[in-house]
Amino acid sequence: MSLDYFILVFMAAMGVYQIAAIHAKLDGLCFFKQPVVQYIFGLLAIIGAFGWFFTSKIRNVPHKTEGAQQLGLFLAAIVASYFVTAILASIIQAKVDSHVDKTREAKPQDTGIEIYRTNTFIGSIASRLKKEKKGKV
C-alpha cells in the first residue's frame, strides 16, 4: 500500500508539474514544445495514476500506513517527482535542441524556480559552474 501511494503521488505530481509549467511559462520544465501535447500528457499522467491506484487492488482493507508515514510518503513523492521532471526535461530538451553544450544565461532577476523560464535544470547548474569558474580565474 505504501509503494502504491508513493507511485500515485509521484505520477500525479509529474502531471501537475507539466500543466503548471505551461501556465507559469517555465519552459525549462516542459517535456514538449507544444502546449496542447503538454496538457494531454499532464492530464493522462494524473488520470492514469488515480485510475491505476483505485482499480488495481481492493482499497477498503485495513493497512499499516499511519498519517505521519503517509505525509512522509507524500512529501518524498512530490520532491522525487520534481527532480525527475527537471532532469527528464533537461535531457529531452538537450536531445531535441541537439546542442548539449548550449547553456542560456539567466537574467539577473531570475532566482529560484524562475530560472526555468530561460534554462533547464542541468543547464542552470552548468551555467552556474561556468560563472564560478570564470570568477576564480
Q: What is the pLDDT of residues 92-126, one digit of tens each?
A: 877 766 544 444 454 555 566 666 666 777 776 77
Q: What share of the chain is helix, strand, coil (3-state, %, to 5)?
A: 75, 0, 25
Q: What is the pTM of this model?
A: 0.75
Secondary structure of 42-103 in HEC code, one letter for each residue = HHHHHHHHHHHHHHHCCCCCCCCCCHHHHHHHHHHHHHHHHHHHHHHHHHHHHHHHCCCCCC
User: If DSSP codes are grouped into helix, strand and coil, which group holds residue 137?
Assistant: coil
Question: If you average pLDDT over residues 73-80, what whole number do you get?
Answer: 95
Q: How much is the pLDDT for 107?
A: 53
| Structural domain includes residue 133 | no
Tell me which residue range forms the domain holding 52.
2-97
Of 127, 132, 71, the closest CA to residue 102 belongs to: 127
Establish if 117 belongs to a structural domain.
no
Q: Length of the chain in residues, anyone?
A: 137
19 pLDDT higher than 90: yes
Residue 130 lies in a domain: no
What tens digit of pLDDT does each residue of 50-73 get? 998 888 877 666 677 777 888 999
**Of the candidates 4, 8, 1, 121, which has an alpha carbon nearest to the alpha carbon of residue 66?**
1
Q: Tell me if 103 is assigned to some domain.
A: no
Rg (CA), the chain: 18
Q: Tell me if 15 sits within 8 A of 46, measured CB to CB.
A: yes
Residue 7 forms part of a structural domain = yes
Q: Which pLDDT score, from 0 to 100, does residue 135 have?
A: 66
Domains in the chain: how many in total?
Answer: 1
